[in-house]
Structure 1
Amino acid sequence: MSHAVQWVRSLIFVINIYAMMGIIGILFFPWAVVSRRGAQAACHSWCRWVRWTAGWMVGLHTEVRGTPPTDEVLIAAKHQSFLDIVLIFGAVPAGKFIMKRELMWAPVIGQYALKIGCVPVDRGKRSLAIKKMVSDVGKGRQEPGQLIIYPQGTRIAPGVKAPYKVGTGVLYDELGQDCVPVAANVGLFWPRKGIMRKPGTAIVEFLPRIPAGQDRRQFMRELEAKVETASTALMQEAGFDPES
């Protein structure tokens, strides 16, 4: 019975957050049309709403550890579910993601994502998209901020291993910015697919930055080691052993 009750609560929560996405999108639209700050304010407001309602609707509390960057950096994060997007973006002042191109056509999400500076990427054409993005940044057509990328390219369930893709290393090289790794355990509570949201404490952790200028291969090894080690520790803290 408790599982059924939690599922119903989860369904109500999911309906709530998408309904509020539309409401906030409409309320902030006049400001967002004329200002990137308006779009950022709308997205930050929605992130706060998701975190607040998750706590009392489904018993899912959230925590952001470490020091979120406020300068112009590359953020390379563990991606387990939509919740890490909410927590990471909500913690930084001017976040922008490298996102799947098909999200451009999603109602509200697509329009606001483009307005805050997200970079659409074609699956299978990632290298071309990265070159264009680097070019745009160099020419000043992108507003400064925190560029967020998921090095494994997609959501990875807890305990599943997947390679880190070279695109993050290319960005690190070309942008010449420090990289802030981010670990997460959020997939234990908010899975990749499905309605169920589990009670507990979902955490993202901003780790010590990797300075700009390292050899690309060395950078990728250090990034993967830091993110995977810290993510494993967060999952073990929540009672899940990804190595078992």
Structure 2
Amino acid sequence: MRDAIQWLRSLIFVGQIYFMMLPLGILFFPWALLDRRGANAGCKAWCHWVTWTARWMVGLRTEVRGTPPTDEVLVVAKHQSFLDIILIFAAVPAGKFIMKRELMYAPILGQYGLRLGCVPVDRGKRSQAIKKMVDDVAKGRQAPGQLIIYPQGTRIAPGVKAPYKIGSGILYEETGQDCVPVATNVGVFWPRKGIMRKPGLAVVEFLPRIPAGKEKETFMSELEEVIETNSNRLMREAGFDPDGVS
């Protein structure tokens, strides 16, 4: 019975957060069209709405640990569900993403993404996006801010092993920017698929930065070690054993 009630509360919660995209998107849209800061403010308002309603609707509290960067860096994060996107974006002053090109044509959402400085890419052509981004950074066309990327390329369920792709290493090497790794346990409470949201404390943690200038292979090895080790620590803190998943 308790699970059924939690599922129903989760259904209402999920429905209302997606509904709130529309009024908030419309409210901030004129400002967003005129100024990137308007798009940033609108997206952050929605992120704060999500975390506020999660606390009292489904008992899911959130916490950001460490020091979010304010300069131009690569933010390379463990990706378990939509919640880590929300928490990371809300924590940095000018976050931007690599996004699927088809999202450009979504009403309001596509315009917000472009105004934030997100980079649209064709499905399956991530390498071309990386090359274009490196070229834009070199020529000063890229909007300043924190580029948020996911080294495993997609959402990975807690305890599941997946390789780290070389794209993060290429961006790190070619842009010459520091990297701020981010660990998380959000997938324990907010799964990559499904409706159920579990009560507890979901955390994203900004870890000590990896300075620019390291060899790509060295960087990739250090990045994976620090993100996986700290994500496993946060998952254990949440009562989930990442080593117990087959």
- TM-score scaled by structure 1? 0.98
**What's the counterpart of residue 149 of structure 2?**
149
| Deviation for aligned residue 1:110 | 2.4
**Which residue does 2:82 correspond to in 1?**
82
Cα distance in 1 for partners of 2:96, 2:238 equals: 29
Q: Which segment is superposed worse, 138-147 or 23-32? A: 138-147
Indicate whether 1:54 and 2:60 are aligned: no
Corresponding residue for 1:10? 10
- For structure 2, the residue ranges without an aligned partner over 5 or more in a row are none
Preserved CA contact (<8 Å) 2:185 2:204: yes
Instruction: Give the Cα–Cα distance (whole angstroms) in 2 for the partners of residues 103 and 190 of structure 1.
Output: 23
The number of equivalent residue pairs is 244
Is residue 193 of structure 2 the alignment partner of residue 175 of structure 1?
no
* Residues 4-62 of structure 1, C-alpha deviations (whole Å, 9 max, x = no match): 11111111111111111111100001100010000000011111100000000000000
What is the alpha-carbon root mean square deviation over aligned residues? 1.0
Amino acid at match of 1:122: D
- Does the alignment pair 1:160 with 2:155? no
Hey, what's the Cα distance between the residues in 2 that align with 1:37 and 1:113?
A: 12
Do structure 1's residue 134 and structure 2's residue 134 form an aligned pair?
yes
What do residues 111-134 of structure 1 show as CA deviations (whole Å, max 9, x unaligned)?
211110111222321111110111
Please name the residue that 1:31 is paired with: 31
Q: Secondary structure at the match of 2:242?
A: coil
Superposed CA deviations along residues 129-188 of structure 1, whole A, max 9, x for unmatched, are 110111112222222100000000000000100000000000001110000000000001
Amino acid aligned to 1:225:
E
User: What secondary structure sits across from 2:241 in the alignment?
Assistant: coil
Q: How many Å separate the matches in 2 of 1:25 and 1:146?
A: 22
Amino acid at match of 2:9: R
Structure 1: state its 5+ residue gaps: none
Identical counterparts, % of pairs: 76
Aligned partners of 1:21 and 1:108 also within 8 Å: no
Give the aligned partner of residue 104 of structure 2.
104
Q: The residue matched to 1:93 in structure 2 has which SS?
A: coil
Further displaced range: 140-149 or 65-74: 140-149
SS in 2 for 1:235: helix
Cα shift at 1:76: 0.3
Aligned equivalents of 2:228, 2:29: Cα separation in 1: 39
